[in-house]
Structure 1
Amino acid sequence: AAEDNIGVMYEHGQGVEQDYAEAMKRYRISAAKGNGEAELNIGNFYQHGLGVKLDLNEAIKWYRSAVSNGNEEAAQKLSALNNGGAAQESHQE
């Protein structure tokens, strides 16, 4: 959870310079430990193209993993993507 919190700080520039690559690094460390919140954050990066190439399939993969680790928000993201939200989200880079 600590790595995820540090990732959030880097993602939003809270107390540090905003750095998507560093945020992703921290999220991946946390996700490797089964942290559903970190997996949700990685999915968001792929869904919106934050520091990575926009990739909805990769976003869905991370959201599914987050759901399997108990993250309810990821379930909502998956539902929105499955109900046509993908077209709407795809031009937010």
Structure 2
Amino acid sequence: MVVALAFVVSLGYWCYYHFDHFHFHVTRAYAHIGHTEAQHLIGQRYLHGRGVEKDHSEAMKWFRKAADQGHPHSSYNLAVGHLQGLTEDLQPGEAQKLIEHAARQGVPEASDMMDSSCVWGDCEQ
């Protein structure tokens, strides 16, 4: 009983005073079981270095997992990461397909890119 109470108090302390760290680990647990929004959030954290050290290759890995399941923002981020040289694991023409998917799903940045850069073939690196 005392051990359980100490655990609950410790967990409460950790959640309250280290919320970003707690949130990252809970989100990462969901990402590992295949939740696409969690995978996207973990990718964002690694990309921008919020609560973790910046790691672009790790970010692209998580964006790839979510994009493979159809997540539109992750599809866009993976394509843009490829165009910026952050990842090289896309097949020729895959970046444009990812951007088109994101645009069809309502991602405004992807629509803008389709109307500007992709018209001139700049999405085919």
TM-score, normalised by the number of residues in structure 1 = 0.74
Partner Cα distance (2:112, 2:61) in 1: 24
Which string of whole-angstrom CA distances, capped at 9 and with x for unpartnered residues, describes residues 20-61 of structure 1? 1111111111112211000010011012112438x9844322
Q: Secondary structure at the match of 2:41?
A: helix
**Alignment check: 8 A CA contact 1:37 1:66 kept:** yes
What amino acid does structure 1 have at the position aligned with 2:80? N
Partner Cα distance (2:118, 2:45) in 1: 30
Identical-pair percentage:
33
Partner Cα distance (2:88, 2:48) in 1: 16
Partner Cα distance (2:80, 2:112) in 1: 12
Match runs of 1:21-40 below 5 Å: 21-40=57-76
What amino acid does structure 1 have at the position aligned with 2:114? L
Structure 1 alignment gaps of length 5 or more? none
Query: Which entry has the higher C-alpha Rg, 1 or 2?
Result: 2
- Report the counterpart of residue 2 of structure 1 in structure 2: 38
Q: Secondary structure at the match of 1:77?
A: helix
Tell me the CA shift for residue 4 of structure 1: 0.3
Tell me the CA shift for residue 62 of structure 1: 1.5
Q: How many residues align?
A: 87
Give the CA RMSD over aligned residues. 2.5
Relative CO higher for 1 or 2, CA cutoff 8 Å, sep ≥ 6?
1
Give 2:86's match in structure 1, choosing from 42, 50, 69.
50
Q: Is 1:15 matched up with 2:51? A: yes
Tell me the CA shift for residue 18 of structure 1: 1.1
